[in-house]
Structures are given as C-alpha cells and as structure tokens.
C-alpha cells in the first residue's frame, strides 16, 4: 500500500512539474509578423503608434529629419490610408489616444512639446499645443559593479535637450511621459482639461533612466500595470525594462537583455509586450520579467523595397486580438552593412496576440 501510494504521488508530482514547465514554455513564431499597411510616398521611419479602439483606425508618426518630412498618418482597420497631416521638419515620436474625447496625443520630439489633434483630422486640421517639456539637464552619475568587486562610474554629460519619447494615460486622466536624454519621467495632471500650457511635473529623474549605450535613448516606452500601482519603462540603450513603484518612486530592474527595448504595451492577460528594435522581434514578459514569447523576425527586403517581417520594430499597440507594430527601419550608423540602408518603403506590421 505504501509503495502504491508512493508511486501515485510520484506520478502526480511528475505531472505537476511537467505542467509548470509547460506554463513557462517559450512561444516562438518567426513568421508571426504580417504586413498591415505601407506608408505613402514621402513618408518614412514610422515610430509612434496608437489606435482608436472603437473604429480600429491606426495612427502612426514619423521620426525623420529631412525638411517637410514628418507626417501623422491614419489608416483604416483594413490598412487603407485615410488621412495625412504634415508636421514639416520636426520629428515626432510617441502617440496615445484619448477614447473619451476622440483625440490623438502627439509627442513632438523636435519641438519638445505635447500636442493633440482630433482623431478625424485631415490635412488642414490645426494641431493644438498642450504643454512644453523643461530643460533639466542630465541625471546624476551611475555606479556599476564589476565581477571582480570593482565598480565603474557612468557620467551622462551635460545634455539639456528635452526629449519626450513615449507616454501613457492613466484612468484618472493623468499623462505620464518619458524623457530619453534627460533620464526623467514627467506627469501632466488632467491633461484633457488643464489650462494650456499645462503644467509638467517631474515625477523622477534617475540614472537608471539614462543610458550610455546604443541606440542612444534611455527612458523610452512606458506602460501602467492593471492596477496602476507601477509604471514600466523601457531603457533602449541599456536593453532593460525597469519598474517604478508609483507610491515610493523607487526604480528597479524588471528584465535584462531585451535587445533595444523600445515601445511597450500590456495585453489583457497581463503580459508585457516589448518591441526589441535591435533583435527585430517583439517579446512578451510574464509577471516575473521572464521572456515567454518571441514573435517575428527580419526576413529580407521585398521587391518593392519594404521589409519582410520586422525591421527595427519601434512601438506596439494592441487592438482586440491584434498587435500593430511600426517598422522604423532607421539606419542609425550610416553603414551599408545595415539592412535598413536598403529600405525604400516603410510599413506597419500586425501580429496575432497568442492565447495563453
């Protein structure tokens, strides 16, 4: 009887271990990214993205530095171009959507401003200035420990250019914004109704939010968890995801080695999706910060000059069962070895969000 009991318990324990391992199995689908939309002629380097969940419209912003180069574009839910708004020579980064008021919020990187425009904009719709981001300088230095017990000090110089990059709206109407160069997180309270120019409050400036790495952007994509107790922050140059406790403002490292962690978004299951721009993938993290999915890859340049799959994916947005991702495809180094140097058409991909 004791032997039978031990055998049954052994089988049960084995099944339990196998189930636990199965729950942590890495999902891998290199062909997950399919082309959703192509930017119009004259528009390149799509970076920021957001969506109108009521209509399925997708909005993308370009991060270009040529004269009269930057655009805010709108696509219908089937990928058809429906509107273009010209932003001239000022590159734009993060986008977010206010569903209650049907407004698109825009982080104008070139002008260091928060702006907004109605979702049904056309080429002549005026852009509204909401807030200006301050010049506060670089954060303090950061000490990094070495395996031999010594340490190195990273100093971030004297960069004072406000670099608003990504944003996220809280349920109570406050807007959080990351600053990639000054290593900061800002908050604009009641952003829809505040008196313009709206006050910009510094939530924190921290050495962990800056970088000396590559690509040279620190605090980037941000997202609130489901109960809005914590803000998750991508540090692109450090290939990290950080977690900030909003009550204490303390920052900790949530995940390492997410190569070029850029835009981020939570899905309905609590997984945090990260655009890994230097890995040409999107990855999902569980509540422990463990990578549990890797989707998409770069599969060459198509005959029309568009990337096949993901190339320098910058920002994701989730609408229903789909995740839409901008293919920034930006040649950062100027080297002909970069595949981005061969891109002639810029695209948005979409990926089916896997069930648990």
Tens of pLDDT along the chain (356 residues)?
344 434 433 434 333 333 334 456 789 999 999 999 999 999 999 999 999 999 999 999 999 998 888 999 999 999 999 999 999 999 999 999 999 999 999 999 999 999 999 999 999 999 999 999 999 998 988 888 889 989 888 888 877 899 999 999 999 999 999 999 999 999 999 999 999 999 999 999 999 999 999 999 999 999 999 999 999 999 999 999 999 999 999 999 999 999 999 999 999 999 999 999 999 999 999 999 999 999 999 999 999 999 999 999 999 999 999 999 999 999 998 899 999 999 999 999 999 999 87
The count of residues in the chain is: 356
Q: What is the pTM of this model?
A: 0.91
Q: What is the pLDDT of residue 2?
A: 45
Q: What is the pLDDT of residue 249?
A: 97
Q: Which residues contact 9 (CB under 8 A, 6 or more apart)?
A: none
Name the residue ranges covered by the structural domains of the chain. Answer: 26-141+155-352
Long-range contacts of 225-234 (CB under 8 A, 24+ apart): 225/266, 225/270, 226/266, 226/270, 228/170, 228/171, 231/168, 231/176, 231/185, 232/264, 232/272, 233/178, 233/185, 233/209, 234/166, 234/258, 234/261, 234/262, 234/263, 234/264, 234/274
| Residue 135 structure tokens | 């010049």
For 26-141+155-352, CATH gives 2.120.10.30
Q: What is the pLDDT of residue 4?
A: 43
| Residue 41 structure tokens | 């002629």
Q: Which residues contact 235 (CB under 8 A, 6 or more apart)?
A: 208, 209, 211, 218, 219, 220, 241, 242, 261
Q: What is the pLDDT of residue 23?
A: 56
């Amino acid at each position: 009887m004791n032997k039978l009991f031990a055998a049954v318990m052994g089988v049960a324990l084995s099944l339990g271990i196998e189930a636990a391992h199965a729950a942590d199995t890495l999902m891998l689908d290199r062909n997950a990214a399919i082309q959703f939309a192509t930017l119009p002629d004259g528009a390149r380097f799509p970076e920021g993205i957001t969506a109108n969940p009521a209509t399925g419209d997708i909005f993308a912003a370009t991060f270009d530095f040529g004269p009269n180069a930057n655009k805010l574009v709108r696509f219908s839910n089937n990928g058809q171009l429906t509107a273009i708004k010209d932003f001239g020579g000022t590159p734009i980064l993060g986008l977010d959507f206010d569903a209650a008021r049907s407004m698109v919020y825009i982080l104008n990187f070139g002008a260091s401003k928060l702006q907004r425009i109605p979702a049904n904009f056309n080429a002549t719709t005026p852009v509204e200035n909401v807030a200006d981001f301050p010049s506060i300088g670089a954060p303090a230095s950061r000490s990094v420990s070495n395996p031999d017990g010594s340490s190195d000090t990273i100093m971030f110089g004297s960069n004072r250019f406000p670099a608003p990059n990504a944003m996220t709206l809280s349920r109570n109407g406050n807007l959080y914004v990351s600053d990639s160069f000054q290593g900061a997180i800002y908050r604009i309270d009641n952003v829809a109704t505040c008196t313009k120019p709206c006050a910009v409050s510094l939530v924190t400036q921290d050495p962990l939010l800056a970088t000396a790495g590559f690509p040279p952007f620190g605090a980037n994509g941000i997202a609130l968890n489901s109960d809005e107790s914590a803000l998750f922050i991508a540090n692109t140059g450090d290939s990290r995801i950080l977690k900030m406790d909003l009550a204490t403002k303390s920052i900790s490292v949530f995940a390492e080695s997410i190569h070029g962690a850029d835009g981020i978004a939570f899905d309905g299951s609590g997984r945090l999706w990260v655009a890994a721009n230097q890995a040409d993938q999107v990855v999902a993290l569980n509540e422990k910060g463990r990578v549990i999915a890797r989707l998409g890859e770069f599969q060459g340049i198509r005959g029309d000059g568009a990337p096949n799959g993901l190339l320098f994916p910058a920002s994701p947005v989730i609408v229903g069962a789909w995740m839409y991702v901008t293919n920034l495809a930006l040649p950062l180094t100027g080297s002909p070895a970069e595949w981005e140097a061969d891109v002639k058409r810029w695209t948005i991909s979409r990926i089916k969000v896997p069930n648990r």
